[in-house]
Amino acid sequence: MNQHVNQHASQNRSRHAHANGHGNAHANGDRSPAPAPHPAARLTDAERALLLRLLRLPTAGPLEGGAEPRLWEAQRAYADAARSLGFTVLHHAAPDPAEVTGDHVPDAVRRACAEDPSFLASQPSLVLALGPADAPRADTVMFNVHLDTVAGDEPVVFDGTRFTGRGAIDAKGPAVALLAGVRAALAECPELAEDTRVLIQAVSGEEGGTMGVFGTRPLVHRGWYGRLNVFCEPTGLRLLPRATASMTARLRVDGQDAIDDRPAAGHNATVLLGHLAQHLAARLPARAPAGSQVCVAGLHTGHLHNKVYGTGRLLLNCSYAEAADGRALAQALTEEVAAGLRDFARAFADHRDLARTAADAAVVTRVEWLKRDLPALGPADDPWATELLAERAGLPWWPADEPAFTCDALWMAELPEAYTVVLGPGDLAHNHGHASGEFAELGELEAFADAVRRVLVHFARGERPGGGGSSRRPDRAGTARG
C-alpha cells in the first residue's frame, strides 16, 4: 500500500455516504467484530506454509532499496498453489518498456528504467484465471494483490496465532487468504467455476512510489478486470470504494555558490528554499480542494557550515481525491511558488548578504514535476454493488469521513461496467505495515478469507447487470438465482 494518506472534507461526506451504502449504519464508523470464519475458510496447513514461504522471500524492489527482489519465485509459488484450485496462468511476464511511458510515470521509475536495463525484468506480474474463458465481464470478478513489499528485513515467525514478517499484512498475508477464500467458495458453490470467471492479479510495483504504473496499470489496460474488482489492502474488512492519487513537485534552486567569508557574492539556496517552504506550508493547504492534502518535505542544500550553497531542492507531495482536484492543486502550487518568490524578493532586496539572491530568485528557481496526472478513484453510486457487498455479503463500509489512501485501485477510475472496492484485513498502522514488527493475526486473515467466500458465492448465485442490461441465469435446478 502506498504511504500517502489524504483527509476527506465534511462537504463531501453526504455524497460519499450515499455512494458508500445508501445510509448503511456502517458508514458511521461501526467497527463490530468480524464474524467467525466459515470452517471452509480457515487456512490449511499448506496455505500457512505458503505464506511463510512468501514471507521469507525478499521482494522489495530496487526503488525500496531491495538488491535482488525474488518476485519471479514468489509469483511462481503463488501460481502453483492456485493451480490446485483450478486456476491457470494467463500471463506471467515483466512489463513491456513501451507500457511504461508517459507523464503519469513517476520520475524515479523513468530514471530506474534509463539507468538499469534489467530493472523492469525484475518486476514481473502474474494473472491467474478460473472459470470459463469466454465469460463476459458481467460474469467476471477480479482480485488484485501485490507481492512486492517495502524495504526492511523482518524475522519470519508463526506462533500459532500470529504471522510476523515483511508483507504479513501488506500484502502477502491477504494474498494467501484470498486463495483460502476462493477454495471455500468452491466448496460451497461448485458451480462457481462453471459460470463465473475469477481473475487474480498478483503484481509487482505497488510499493516504492511506483504507483502501479508497471504492475497493475498494464494489466488493467489489457482488459484483465471484471464487473467487480477487489483490491486487497488493509481496510479492517471495511469496503472502501475510493482511492486517492498523489503528485510530487520538486523546487530547484540552481544558483552560484559562495564562501562563508563573502556570503553576498552567491545565491543562498538554503534561505530561499526555507522561505518558500514556510510560505507553501502556510498558504497552499488553504487552497487545496476538499479531500486533498499537502506535505512539505525534503529540503536539502548541503552538509557544511562554512559554505553558502547556491543549489538546493525542496519536495512537496500532494494527494487528491479527484483528478480535477489534482489539476487545481498543481495550478495553486505553481501560483504560490511565484507568490513566495515575489515575497522573498521584496523582503530581502536591501539585505546585506541576500540582495543578490533576492534579485535573481525567480531566475534561479523552478518547479519540476516528479509525478503528476495520475487518476483518482472516486466512489460510484452502484445499487447492484451495494446489495451484493453490503446487504448479501454483510460487509461494512469504510466511514465516509475517514481518510482514504493511495493504492493501485486508482487505475480503475472511470472504467465502464466495472465496480471497484478496496477490501482487506488489518490496519496498516495497527499491524505495523511499512514499519518494524509487521504482523497479521491468523484470525483476521481467516476473516478476510470468509469475506472473499461470501462475495464470490453471492456473486455467482445472484443477479447482476450485463453489458447494457442484466443477466439472470437459471441455476442447476432451473430456478432463477437471486
Question: Is residue 228 within 8 Å of 385, Cβ to Cβ?
Answer: yes
Instruction: Give the model confidence (pLDDT) of 176-198 as tens digits.
Output: 999 999 999 999 999 999 999 99
Lowest mean pLDDT, pick from 325-329, 436-440, 474-478: 474-478
List helix spans (H) across 29-96. 45-56, 71-83
DSSP three-state, residue 140: strand
Tell me the mean pLDDT in the region 328-345: 98
Contacts of 107 (CB under 8 A, 6+ apart): 248, 368, 369, 370, 371
**pLDDT at res. 34:** 65
Instruction: Give the model confidence (pLDDT) of 16-62 as tens digits.
Output: 333 343 334 333 344 456 678 899 999 999 999 999 999 999 999 89
From the centroid of its chain, how far is CA 96?
A: 21
As a whole number of angstroms, the distance between CA 461 and CA 465 comes to: 13
Tell me the mean pLDDT in the region 477-481: 32
Tell me the mean pLDDT in the region 289-317: 96
DSSP three-state, residue 217: helix
Tell me the mean pLDDT in the region 211-233: 97
As a whole number of angstroms, the distance between CA 309 and CA 378 comes to: 44
Instruction: Give the model confidence (pLDDT) of 249-273 as tens digits.
Output: 999 999 999 999 999 999 999 999 9
Question: Is residue 405 within 8 Å of 5, Cβ to Cβ?
Answer: yes
**pLDDT at res. 462:** 87
**Residue 74 half-sphere exposure toward CB, CA atoms < 13 A:** 33
CA angle 262, 264, 270 (to 5 degrees): 105
Lowest mean pLDDT, pick from 3-12, 162-171, 180-189, 273-282: 3-12
Report the chain's terminal Cα–Cα distance, integer Å. 35
As a whole number of angstroms, the distance between CA 60 and CA 166 comes to: 9
Q: Look at the block and give the residue holding cell 465516509.
A: 400
**pLDDT at res. 68:** 82
Taking each helix axis as running N to C, give the angle between helix 355-364 and helix 323-347, from 0 to 180 degrees, rounded to the nearest 10: 150
C-alpha cell at 141: 470478478
pLDDT band at 137 (very low <50, low <70, confident <90, very high): very high
Tell me the mean pLDDT in the region 226-237: 98
Tell me the mean pLDDT in the region 418-441: 96
Rg (CA), the chain: 25
From the centroid of its chain, how far is CA 357?
A: 41
Tell me the mean pLDDT in the region 163-167: 98
Whether residue 470 has pLDDT greater than 90: no
pTM of the entire structure? 0.86
Dump the DSSP string for 326-339. Answer: HHHHHHHHHHHHHH
**pLDDT at res. 32:** 52
Chain mean pLDDT for the chain: 90
**pLDDT at res. 446:** 98
Whether residue 274 has pLDDT greater than 70: yes
- Cα–Cα nearest to 423, from 469, 454, 466: 454
**pLDDT at res. 465:** 58
Whether residue 481 has pLDDT greater than 60: no
Whether residue 360 has pLDDT greater than 60: yes
DSSP three-state, residue 163: strand
Q: How many CB atoms lie within 10 A of CB 324?
A: 11
